[in-house]
Amino acid sequence: MSLLDTVRDAAGRLTGHPEPGAVPDPLIGKPGAIGRSLPRIDGPRKVRGAARFAAEVPADGLLYAAVAYSAIARGRIAFLDTTAAERAPGVVLVMDHRNAPRLKPPALFMTKPQAAGASDLPIMQDDSIHWNGEAVAVVLAHTQEQAEHAAALVRATYEEAPATLDFEAAKRRSRHPDSVMGEKPVLEQGDAERALADAPVSVDLIFRTPRHSHAAIEPHAVTAWWEDGALVLHDATQVLNGVRWTLADMFGIAEDRVRVLSPFVGGGFGGKGSLWSHQVLAAAAAKLAGRPVRLNLSREGVFRLAGGRTPTEQRVALGAREDGTLLSLIHTGCVAMTPHNNCPEQFTFPARHLYRADAIRLEQSVADMDMLANTFMRAPGESVGTFALECALDELAEKLSLDPIELRRRLEPERDPTSGHEFSSRHLLRCFEMGAERFGWHRRAPTPGTRREGEWQIGLGVATATYPYQRMPGGAARIVLNRDGRAVVSMASHEMGMGTATAQSQAAADRLGLPVEDVTFEYGDTSLPAGTIAGGSSQTASIAAAVAAAAAVLATELLKLAGNDSPLAGLGVDEVEMRDGGIGAREQPDRHERYDSILRRAGRDELVADAKAPPPRELKRWSMHSFGAQFCEVRVSAVTGEVRVSRFLGAFDCGRILNPRTAASQFRGGIIMGLGLALTEETQFDPRSGRIMNPSLAEYHVPVHMDVPPIEVVWTEQPDPRAPLGARGIGEIGITGVGAAVANAVYNATGRRIRDLPITPDKLL
């Protein structure tokens, strides 16, 4: 099979665009740069401090911004006194709703193809307040310290309006969202409640998960200025083109009058996957001041202005036969949301495709609250949904006196249980086998609370991990081939530290038949061909599909250019492949010409190929998901209730791994974030005021080195024949199942079921 085993149209003509999924990517299984543990290409610049992040971009006449936050959750500003702030040292300007430029509200994401608004609330356009912590004023000063000082001098009084601040109360008025990420909020197959009632063995359980806040190393930041009515925004974002389109729409200017740059991002995790108010405020303030503005949110600012995970209450009920096979699978529940956003935490999605059951009932509802819009946070829905589902499965296994891995073996479906589609590639049981062997699962004591060393009770737990394969529409790539045979491949994509630049250089090198040193991958700038969101673990496949399409166009052009004097003369585009620095006939090693030779003979300095990725039709034909098995060992102090995770192993089935080094780091990072979810992370929301009470890393506890044990990561190495490069995404699956693996291990250690995250010591005493 060649690179150019492409789609033909109805008339049998080649369209020039390989359609991912129709045939396996010809690069699958081909030795080359893919699969090598190359170090990060951007690493040396980062460790030398030479990589410029958004808050480090220099600008002449730069002003520093600080934000004053509202102190009520709902109502209006009765009186805003900015005089003391305006008189404070170094202050140049104070912007509030009275002098801010008039702007359209942001278009909410998913309402239009490029819309990226995290919320559709207007930003600083009137005196109304919608959450505690909303920006009421932005102070611009000569230094950051002057701006912060002056922002503290802004005085506001409010007329408060009744606000919904209590999740329990809000739940009583819950509603079905229009859609849950494009799916209906209710899915029913058979009568699951009745099957549950009739089942000989059953569990029916409620699980709760709290709010979480984003805590990337780099706080959200922008440096913005205007040039002749055009906006330049250096941003920390994972959705360049969405930020560009949405800002252009808000400011009423053409999309090409906005340029967004984001070559380096210090972690995103979904928190930088939308347009929040700080980007808009910085652009508006820069316009008002006529000078460049830097708005680098403080850590508190991230908690107040950029949303995170929302609380959930979930019911999982399982009805089984004595052999463990399921008569009934029910997963329902409610999340807090705002009426202005669109993030209902798809916690029932794992249950759609994981296990075989005679009857299935899935339902999601949302409870509207007056709070900061919640957003994507690493495996939104799946991370907390797998906590509930996988803990319930563990409880059922116990009731059945079955090993929890054996129970999952008995529930393995032939096809996707809800869509009925064939799986593109599924090796979940292999993950359990690999993991069990390496982790020493056989050492788990079947009776809980029976292994102890001094004060430490020891237990093992296991859970399934899963995350969908996704590929976003709308991406485009460009390949510029130079006369010296080197290539520059570009797309407005994102490097948040996960290894995009490195893995995509490897992939492009193999695609073009070039050594990786001869390929440069450019990204992080909307002046490049359109990128797609680095979210939903979709970016690797989205880029690969666009580059494959551009490579097909390039090959077509090269054959034309080669002409009759080339050994390639007479060959059609579907008879060749890109190899050894040029183009060659498939299965004819001698018929080959190098790129530099073709370009020189044609008198060309370079050849440019642009192409759009074909739409992600593979998603409609196949059930495409990644899988994993998470193994955890905990030690729980019988004296203090403290839980220490002492060993962890994740075994994953994510298709082809492009770079083992960067992939292992992604998996480990996901697991570490999952340890925070399991044990420590909780955004404290005061139900009287709607104020987030712990907006700092001193009080919002993410895992630190002492909390993280050695984490072993293994994978199946089974390429997905339906995904570009055979690769499904790996950014999010690492966190899924971790909460359950920890909770199940805590149960095995102590005999205590904690169904309410995080598992803090007080819950175990």
Contacts of 486 (CB under 8 A, 6+ apart): 514, 518, 519, 520
Q: Check residue 270 for interaction with ligand MOS (CB under 6 A).
A: yes
Of 15-23, 374-382, 607-615, 668-676, which part binds ligand MOS (CB under 6 A)? 374-382
The interface region with ligand MOS, picked from 4-12, 132-140, 226-234, 264-272 by CB under 6 A, is 264-272
Kindly tell me which residue out of 64, 376, 467, 631 binds ligand MOS, with binding defined by CB under 6 A. Answer: 376
Task: Report whether 295 contacts 361 (CB < 8 A).
Answer: no
Q: What is the C-alpha to C-alpha distance for residues 49 and 46, in angstroms, rounded to an integer?
A: 5
How many residues in the chain? Answer: 765
User: For this structure, is 577 an active site residue?
Assistant: no
Residue 553 host element (H or E):
helix 539-562
Q: In angstroms, what is the minimal distance from the CB of 378 to ligand MOS? A: 5
**How many Cβ atoms sit within 10 Å of the Cβ of residue 83?**
11
Count of Cβ atoms closer than 10 Å to residue 77 Cβ: 20
- Give residue 390's identity as a one-letter amino acid code: E
390 belongs to the binding site for ligand MOS (CB under 6 A): no
Nearer to ligand MOS, 376 or 523 (CB): 376
Specify the stretch interacting with ligand MOS by CB under 6 A; choose among 221-229, 336-344, 372-380, 589-597: 372-380
In angstroms, what is the minimal distance from the CB of 741 to ligand MOS?
20
Q: Per CB under 6 A, does 377 bind ligand MOS?
A: yes
506 vs 537 by CB, closer to ligand MOS: 537
Q: What is the 3-state secondary structure (H, E, C) of 647-678?
A: EEEEEEECECCCCHHHHHHHHHHHHHHHHHHH
Q: Are strands 186-189 and 357-368 parallel, antiparallel or unpaired?
A: antiparallel
730-749 residues in contact with ligand MOS (CB under 6 A) are 732
Q: By CB under 6 A, is residue 667 in contact with ligand MOS?
A: no
Using CB under 6 A as the binding rule, whether residue 273 contacts ligand MOS is answered as yes
DSSP 379: S
Nearer to ligand MOS by C-beta: 424 or 539? 539
All residues at 6 or more sequence positions from 223 whose CB lies less than 8 Å from its CB, including other chains = 54, 55, 57, 59, 62, 233, 234, 282, 292, 293, 294
Does 275 contact ligand MOS by CB under 6 A?
no
How far the first Cα of the chain sits from its last, in Å, is 62
DSSP character at residue 510: H
Is the CB of 263 or the CB of 270 nearer to ligand MOS? Answer: 270
Instruction: State the CB neighbour count (10 A cutoff) for residue 617.
Output: 15
Q: Is 378 in the site for ligand MOS (CB under 6 A)?
A: yes
Q: Which stretch binds ligand MOS (CB under 6 A): 77-85, 375-383, 546-554, 559-567?
A: 375-383
Q: Which of 20, 24, 219, 268 binds ligand MOS (CB under 6 A)?
A: 268
Specify the stretch interacting with ligand MOS by CB under 6 A; choose among 19-27, 376-384, 544-552, 567-575. Answer: 376-384
What character string, x for contact with ligand MOS (CB under 6 A) and - otherwise, covers 536-555?
Answer: x-------------------
Rounded least distance, CB 539 to ligand MOS, Å: 9
Residues 6+ away with beta carbon under 8 Å from 353? 413, 416, 417, 418, 419, 466, 623, 625
User: Considering only 262-270, 284-292, 414-422, 610-618, which stretch makes contact with ligand MOS by CB under 6 A?
Assistant: 262-270
Residue 669 binds ligand MOS, judged by CB under 6 A:
no
Helix (H) or strand (E) holding 66: strand 63-69
Q: By CB neighbour count within 10 A (0-12 exposed, 13-18 middle, 19+ buried), where does 325 fall?
A: middle
Of 262 and 744, nearer to ligand MOS (C-beta) is 262
Of the residues 218, 557, 618, 732, which is catalytic?
Answer: 732
* Closer residue to ligand MOS (CB): 375 or 750: 375
* Count of residues interacting with ligand MOS (CB under 6 A): 12
Could you say which residues in the range 216-255 bind ligand MOS, by CB under 6 A?
A: 238
Burial of 392-426, coded b for 16+ CB within 10 Å and e otherwise, reads bbbbbbbebebbbbebbebbebeebbbeeeebbbb
Residues in contact with ligand MOS by the rule CB under 6 A: 238, 268-270, 273, 376-378, 380, 535-536, 732
Q: Which residues are catalytic?
A: 732
